[in-house]
Amino acid sequence: MSHSGAGNVPIGRAEGPCQMDRPRRKVKIEKAFGEGKIVTAVLDHEDLVRKLAQPDDSEVASLDAWWRANNYLTIGQIYLQGNPLLREPLRNEHIKPRLLGHWGTSPGLSFIYAHVSRLIKTTGQQAIYLAGPGHGGPALVAAGYLEGTYSEVYPNVGLDEAGMLRLFRQFSSPGGIPSHVSVTTPGSIHEGGELGYVLVHAFGAVMDNPDLLSIAVVGDGEAETGPLEGSWKGISFINPEHDGAVLPILHLNGAKIAGPTVLSRKDPEEVRKLLEGHGYEIIEVGGDDVPGMHYRFAAALAEAWGKIRAIQTAARSGQWDGTRPQWPLIVLRTPKGWTGPEKIDGITVTGTWRSHQVPLSGVKGNSDHLTELENWLRSYRPEELFDATGAPVELVRALAPEGDLRMSASPHANGGLLTRDLDLPDFRGYAVEVKRPAQGRAESTRRLGEFMRDIYTRNPDRFRLFCPDETNSNRLGAVFEVSDRAFMETVTGEDVKISRSGRVMEVLSEHNCHGWLEGYNLTGRHGMFATYEAFAMVSASQTIQHGKWLQEASHLPWRAKVPSLNILLTSTAWRNDHNGFSHQGPGLIQNVLTQRGDVARVYLPPDANTLLSVADHCFRSRSYINLIVIDKQPQLQWLDMDQAIEHCTKGAGIWEWAGTDDGSSDPDIVLACAGDVVTMETVAAARILMEKLPQLKVRVVNVVDLMTLPRPKDHPHGMSETMFRELFTDHVDVVFSFHGYPGAIHQLVHGRPDADRFRVRGFIEQGTTTTPFDMTVRNRASRYHLVMDAINNAKRLPSGASELKAWCEAQLARHETYVVEHLEDMPEVRDWSLEDWAER
Amino acid sequence: MSHSGAGNVPIGRAEGPCQMDRPRRKVKIEKAFGEGKIVTAVLDHEDLVRKLAQPDDSEVASLDAWWRANNYLTIGQIYLQGNPLLREPLRNEHIKPRLLGHWGTSPGLSFIYAHVSRLIKTTGQQAIYLAGPGHGGPALVAAGYLEGTYSEVYPNVGLDEAGMLRLFRQFSSPGGIPSHVSVTTPGSIHEGGELGYVLVHAFGAVMDNPDLLSIAVVGDGEAETGPLEGSWKGISFINPEHDGAVLPILHLNGAKIAGPTVLSRKDPEEVRKLLEGHGYEIIEVGGDDVPGMHYRFAAALAEAWGKIRAIQTAARSGQWDGTRPQWPLIVLRTPKGWTGPEKIDGITVTGTWRSHQVPLSGVKGNSDHLTELENWLRSYRPEELFDATGAPVELVRALAPEGDLRMSASPHANGGLLTRDLDLPDFRGYAVEVKRPAQGRAESTRRLGEFMRDIYTRNPDRFRLFCPDETNSNRLGAVFEVSDRAFMETVTGEDVKISRSGRVMEVLSEHNCHGWLEGYNLTGRHGMFATYEAFAMVSASQTIQHGKWLQEASHLPWRAKVPSLNILLTSTAWRNDHNGFSHQGPGLIQNVLTQRGDVARVYLPPDANTLLSVADHCFRSRSYINLIVIDKQPQLQWLDMDQAIEHCTKGAGIWEWAGTDDGSSDPDIVLACAGDVVTMETVAAARILMEKLPQLKVRVVNVVDLMTLPRPKDHPHGMSETMFRELFTDHVDVVFSFHGYPGAIHQLVHGRPDADRFRVRGFIEQGTTTTPFDMTVRNRASRYHLVMDAINNAKRLPSGASELKAWCEAQLARHETYVVEHLEDMPEVRDWSLEDWAER
């Protein structure tokens, strides 16, 4: 057995994608499981499980040493700015001025980490570690440090005394690292600050990743959140043939910040029922005695791993009956702050919420506390754990697996290294034929569905669509020609396109869909989250947190770029009058706008061909949040494919055919638009002006890429000052019809020449019982308002303008009456097109 | 027994709050339960349960007639625009042009409604009905119509043929009502469009509402969402002594939009375990046979109600052992689309997802479908249900309870009618003493905690604080002097301030906290949701949807105004450098800004006294979303209480003492600020300028009420053009330091004179490893940047400006070096105050 695991297989700064050394791993596992020799394999497997379940003395010594070393380093990070190895008595000046960090959850996290490391080393299992209680950051940082990975990616934090001091000082410090398991933590794909997503990330990571085991530690605080409770059901969608496995470890340490947790105080029988109800087989282990807990947890982990491998082996050798496996789940009960000071100033700390953050506070200047801290640190016997240089001794290092098998070094957790480009068909092959603008209607997203159907076919192991039960509703159903919905629960004869082999992910939970895709992306695979526009706000905080992750990752050279998170919003506000206000909310745009230009992209393609062009671009991109907004209903088509590509490449452009602006001089008014329905209204308004007030020079500008609007210094897509003037002039009023809330455009054009001249008409919250606004969901006759707006703001008015305004008022009144009587828009609005349009 | 229930007790257009007729109700219930006669009561109770469990023939006839009438009206709403009573054969022109609505869930919802109505009528129980599957709108609208309430609040929709036709035509139509159970639906406090919140609303409604029973129907689609799964645990916080009860009815009809649901396809044994694991006692009932289902469901409901009353009676008579009761939960299995056409065009519809929306489509012009629709409608025998005028016959009306006991007329569901003002102590009594600005630091939120402590004391039945385990962390812990955290699970001797009698609500779930408060508010009680700023985004969609609700309600004269939803954000972005990016996100402001002025309020008090003034205002207000943002750490105090009140009343003002602007002419630069930390940086920057460049005329403006910035036409709080010019001039550059994302200010000042001159410095997303921005969380020395900004943008520059800029650069470099070495800000930044300040 080689003990050189730590430090000799660099994962950092890789040039281009690297492939995991799959054959090697496979050989390793095959030693145990043997290809085509199922019976032998099961025997081997049982032997292995038995060995795992019973660690020998040297293994326990190594486990315990590693764990002590981790705990020591954890406490060091929280408290010390000097004297890292306690070579001298602890003094005030060794203590940080501000004590930050979370001790309570850390010893549990490192205890589990140690045991999983032994599992990996024994079996060759590929595994990643997701720490739900992300504020146990120091424990995971210490783990990466002990495995050598930390020094590989941050060479200034070496495996010696100076490096250890840097490790301590950087923690929770200005210019250093955050207190959470985060992007900066090697081996992490999960930031545990906003609680609730550890299982969704873990499940996403193992989809189409058959060799991977996600160890997902669920804190009992986190277990109280809605998203976490809603994510246990991941196993109802995981196929043991082509997916890997998640091993959830529910860590009940009893308390959160300031009190007990619900699950830790329920009757354990209820907890068991709850988790069995979710479909798991429960393995319980608990206590605080050492080494007893090492033996018991090793046995529990062995049992869990044995079950997982048995399920997978059976499924992959054709011995699965197709029912949903009862995957194992470990319930681990250890005291919060385990191994820390039991009482402080006479008050019980360990096992209570008081150990949540910094249990021994006010150390500087309190000699009792200083002594107590020193005793606590020395209780781990650092002199046995680190050598004279400060490097971990062989006994500690012996626990770590080698190279990429170290969880802190797993390429799965730096998924850009494993990312392979999608094999994309030519998106132009799905084009809607458009001979002239606005002559025919089509469901734009249907073409995207066909595009994705063929992406599924060409990329059977690295592309998935995630959608809350709306794939068909969103007109993306073509994907069902080649794949079913994934479902591991009972399927009946009445069901359609749903099976255990399906790879289209439908679950009525935006949290699950979004989080699964994040896990899938961060482990190097591609996908799309398609959802109703209004309900994208349900998972908006995930969008924002993922954007922060990507942005932070962009500063770390060792983090390879991952596939972008693509979000398609359909069933938009403008077509949800019948569903009422709950279905009307273009708010996600507002939130993506707060992200930095490094990551945020917002596209509003007005028709099928622009949608295809945008989608192709998004599927090829890396490490962005790509937000695409377009409705699913039949809609007018504007551009043929060549025009669409050109338009999308520029991001915004003048639609000359729609206006009366001959380019010879500035127009009298600019009618701009971004978004499908508002584009129709804008072109219709321009058409009315063309017909009824032809002397007015109207320019129509359409914006596909919203991020062309800000200045280049504010966003990399921001169009140049010159182009901005070419489109919008620098003094002509712009009536800007926007899909979302008007404030979005106000903030985007801030700083552009005379930004005040932008009169934005957008979605405004309204009661369904009133329609006092100029552009409303309930009233699709907004074109008449836009005509009046144009007249009210034009630089120069030809005669006939006031008559046209009066006509518009009359049309609006007619429409209002008509819809109440006929329950639909009046025909000239409903069926409007440019059928009669001919090239001028 | 009187059958005049429908229509004779108007709930609409009430002047001022009305009190529920509690004594009457009490007498009614006491007849069954008798005060002080526990043994007798239990016997009475058992008799009543037995009677409930065994409906006689006439009761079943009435139940079934009401249900048929409801189903008939439901289908009518989806399909018909004429011939409402089928007085003539159905023809194409009777069919709506666009068929919208959701049939699938509706018959189940009305079936339950009918049975609960019988329960109410038999027992006098006060109950409200929350339809998780909110898209079953037509069923709930029909229920209100059959109970007469609908015609009371919408007199044009009368109980006759013409009214019925209006009922049909308005549904999902322009100018009509949405297809969901919504604000317009009498009896609703729950809009079921965004799924997941039915239980949180139900639990919030019964807190401190001992006589109320919330019937909460959970759809099996909704049951897949995270927020719903996370809300079963509500019973761990409900006290049977002083709270009412929630009866969840998990309605497993098998399918969602396009496929089966997880819970409907799991082994029923697993479902049972899951719900038992959550702590409930499960009552299962299912089938599709009629009248069999009437008998079985009546028995199930009787059993459930019996258990609830037994739990409450025991608890309220001192016979409760204090352990968490096992509250009943009904699992109801009926086919989706029950009683609808079983097959259409040879394909099975009932019991599958195909019945989700409009099962019979393309009716117009398809004579087979038209016939099928007519047969379907006639299968309910409308001629037996409605009389010659179109009014429901006595058999149907007999089911409805009387007056306020009708669920559609319950004042609990129009909570403004029951709202009583808070008994508020004088907030000035909690003031921090401020002799001069910025001399001392205080934890501002601590004073708010003391204010709320006394609000708790004075309002023991109508005020609660909701907070995800952060009450102490947020410095609001004074409330624990008078109340504990509510907790029904095991409490141990180590626990502090947590008990079953507690009324401070802590659960690590923003969804639960927010939703409980919504339910509490909408039933007429007051409260506050206090949470970490970054994690407010977790429940942002709830904030938005509640805002939409309030906005819509403001258009309905019969909806009385309810207490405002008060949200306090603490632990803000600016003080979370150590926690990393996940804890830094001022994004909720951005989202509240999208709401209309009718409902949205955003306050950024810079210190304790302004916070108290703002909070007092919020607690008195009605039907707003009040967002208050302030950090919890010790911070400089600026204004004494009188100044604070004056400043908050104006919403924004010049801080003359902070600048060098003598008011005689326009300043050279305006330094504006909104938010606590940025106010400190702004005043510090102004101080540096005052000392080092005294000839520069600097004006300092502080904004507390963010909504004073937009124009009055955009928000009712928008300051007048005159006041805006008085504060900001109309041409001098403004360096605006903002707590949140800069884009928020850009959009708010859009349209103000020369808005481009606003140079906004706000929170910008950043990696923790880089600090290239002018205002950053990691670098609290922003004052030096602001000084440079002021110099760069001032109208007029005195000599010495370039030297000052150089000095600022040097200070920033020093600071950068200092924090890396000392792990904290340099003393002149860390300890900065205006100790030496004297009135000029």
pLDDT by residue (tens digit) across A658-713?
999 877 789 999 999 999 999 999 999 999 999 999 999 999 999 999 999 999 98
Question: What pLDDT score does A13 carry?
Answer: 33
Give pLDDT, residue B484.
98
What is the arithmetic mean of pLDDT over A313-342?
96
Helix A198-206 / helix A510-522 crossing angle, nearest 10 deg: 50
Chain B residue numbers with beta carbons less than 8 Å from the beta carbon of A816 are: 175
Contact between residue A422 and residue A622 where contact means Cβ atoms under 8 Å apart? no
Do residues B472 and B507 make contact, with C-beta atoms less than 8 angstroms apart?
A: no
Which of B226, B262, B549 minimises the CB distance to A236? Answer: B262
Which residues lie closer than 8 Å to A800 by C-beta, 6 or more apart?
A692, A693
DSSP letter at B161 equals H
Share of chain A above pLDDT 90, in %: 81
**AA letter at A767:** G
pLDDT of residue A838: 57
**Does the distance separating the beta carbons of B590 and A591 come in below 8 Å?**
yes
In a mutational test of the A interface, the residue from B545, B594, B632, B777 whose CB has the highest number of chain A CBs within 10 Å is B594
Fold of B22-417: Rossmann fold (3.40.50)
- Could you give the C-alpha distances from A357 to A135, A361, B444, B530, in angstroms and in order? 9, 9, 23, 21
Query: Which two three-digit tokens encode residue A636?
Result: 């007018």
CB contact under 8 A, B473 and A258: yes
Distance from CA of A305 to the nearest CA of B (A): 23
User: How would residue A17 be classed by pLDDT, with cut points 50, 70 and 90?
Assistant: very low
Residue B85 near residue B386, CB atoms below 8 Å: yes
Are A544 and B585 a contacting pair at CB < 8 A? yes
Closest-CA distance of chain A to residue B301, Å: 24
What confidence tens digit (pLDDT) does each residue in B48-69 have? 999 999 999 999 999 999 999 9
Q: What is the pLDDT of residues B420-476, one digit of tens each?
A: 999 999 999 999 999 999 998 999 999 999 999 999 999 999 999 999 989 999 999
A137 vs B766, residue with greater confidence: A137
pTM across the whole model: 0.94
CA distance B508 to chain A (A): 5
Name the superfamily (CATH) of residues B427-635: Thiamin diphosphate (ThDP)-binding fold, Pyr/PP domains (3.40.50.970)
Which of B495, B555, B747 minimises the CB distance to A259?
B495
> What values do phi and psi take at B236, rounded to 5?
-75, 0
For residues A552 and A189, give the distance between their C-alpha atoms in angstroms, rounded to a whole number. Answer: 12
Which range (B139-148, B209-218, B766-775, B819-828) has the least confidence? B766-775
Residue in B173, B230, B771 nearest the CB of A225: B230
Domain A70-291+322-417, CATH: 3.40.50.970
Query: With contact defined as beta carbons under 8 Å apart, do A435 and A838 qualify?
Result: no
Per CATH, the number for A663-830 is 3.40.50.920
How does DSSP assign B414-472, residue by residue? GGGGT--------GGGGPPP-SSTTS-EEEHHHHHHHHHHHHHHH-TTTEEEEESS-TT
Set of chain A residues whose Cβ sits within 8 Å of the Cβ of B498: 259-260
Reported confidence tier of residue A775, pLDDT bands at 50, 70, 90: very low
Q: Which residue has the tokens 């306090």?
A: B568
On the question of pLDDT at A766 being above 80, the answer is no
CB contact under 8 A, B81 and A180: no
Section A163-191 average pLDDT: 93
Residue from the list B178, B270, B490 with its beta carbon closest to the beta carbon of A580: B178
Chain B: nearest CA to A590, how far in angstroms? 7
DSSP single-letter state for residue B718 = P
Rounded to the nearest angstrom, the gap between the alpha carbon of residue B771 and the centroid of all alpha carbons in its chain is: 38
Token couple for B799: 């000599």
Lowest mean pLDDT segment, chosen from B409-413, B647-651, B662-666, B798-802:
B662-666
Q: Do A175 and B555 touch (CB under 8 A)?
A: no
Contact A767 B552 (CB under 8 A): yes
DSSP state of A497: S
- Return phi, psi of residue A814, to 5°: -60, -45
Say whether A195 and B508 touch across the interface (CB within 8 A): yes
User: What DSSP assignment string belongs to B307-360?
Assistant: HHHHHHHHHHTT---SSPP--EEEEEE--TTTTS-SEETTEE-TTSGGGSS-SS
Higher-confidence residue: A7 or A809? A809
pLDDT of residue B837: 64
| Residues above pLDDT 70, as percent of chain A | 92
The Cα–Cα gap between B48 and B42 comes to 10
Q: Report chain B residues whose CB lies below 8 A from the CB of A101.
A: 578
Which pLDDT value is given to residue B17? 40
Say how many CB pairs under 8 Å bridge A and B.
437
Tens of pLDDT, residues A450-483? 999 999 999 999 999 999 989 999 999 999 999 9
Average the pLDDT over A238-249 and give the result: 98
pLDDT band at A20 (very low <50, low <70, confident <90, very high): very low
Contacts of B487 in chain A (CB under 8 A): 259-260, 265
- Asked whether the beta carbons of residue B538 and residue A258 sit closer than 8 angstroms, the reply is no
Q: Are A747 and B751 an interchain contact pair (Cβ–Cβ within 8 Å)?
A: no
CB spacing of B265 vs A489 below 8 angstroms: yes
| A26 has pLDDT over 50 | no
- B754 contacts on A by Cβ (under 8 Å): 756
- Stretch A795-815: mean pLDDT: 93
Nearest to A390 by CA among A155, A138, A163, A96: A163
Work out the number of other CB atoms within 10 angstroms of the CB of residue A499: 16
Domain positions in chain A? 70-291+322-417, 427-635, 663-830
pLDDT value of position B31: 32
Q: Do B511 and A100 touch (CB under 8 A)?
A: no
Secondary structure class of A509 (helix, strand, coil)? coil
**Which residue of B516, B558, B750, B815 is the best one to mutate when testing the A interface, meaning the one whose CB has the most A CBs within 10 A?**
B750
pLDDT in tens, B613-626: 999 999 999 999 99
Bridge pairing between strands A669-674 and A734-738: parallel
Total residue length of chain A: 840
Burial class (CB in 10 A: 0-12, 13-18, 19+), B238: buried
Work out the average pLDDT over A533-538.
Answer: 96
Shortest Cα–Cα distance, B223 to chain A (Å): 8
Query: Inter-axis angle of helices A57-79 and A292-316, to 10 degrees?
Result: 110
Alpha helices for A222-291 (secondary structure H): 226-229, 262-265, 268-277
Paired strand residues for B127 = B213
Grade residue A780 by pLDDT with cuts at 50, 70 and 90: low
| For range B205-219, the mean pLDDT | 98
Cis peptide leading into B10, omega within 30 of 0? no
Q: Whole-angstrom Cα distance, residue B401 to residue A241?
A: 57
Q: Which of B552, B582, B594 sits opposite A548 (nearest CB)?
A: B582
Query: Who contacts A497 (Cβ-Cβ below 8 Å, separation ≥6)?
Result: A480, A484, A485, A504
User: A589: nearest CA in chain B?
Assistant: B591
Calpha distance A642→A646 (Å, rounded): 6
Classify the C-alpha dihedral B87-B89-B90-B92 as positive or negative. Answer: negative
Check residues A206 and B10 and name the one with the higher pLDDT: A206
- Summary mean pLDDT of chain B: 91
CA distance A604 to A674: 6
Pick B44 or B595 by higher pLDDT: B595
**Residues A504/A491, Cβ–Cβ less than 8 Å:** no
Cα of A615 to nearest chain B Cα, Å: 25
Residues of A with Cβ-Cβ distance to B587 under 8 angstroms: 544, 591, 594
Cβ distance of B258 and A778 shorter than 8 Å:
no
Q: CATH class for domain B660-830?
A: alpha beta
Please determine, for residue B528, whether its predicted confidence score (pLDDT) is greater than 90.
Answer: yes
Greater model confidence, A781 or A502? A502
What 3-state class would DSSP assign to B616?
A: helix
Q: pLDDT, tens digit, for every residue of A813-827? A: 998 888 888 888 888
Q: Does A535 sit within 8 Å of B540, measured CB to CB? A: no
**A70-291+322-417 matches A427-635 in fold:** yes
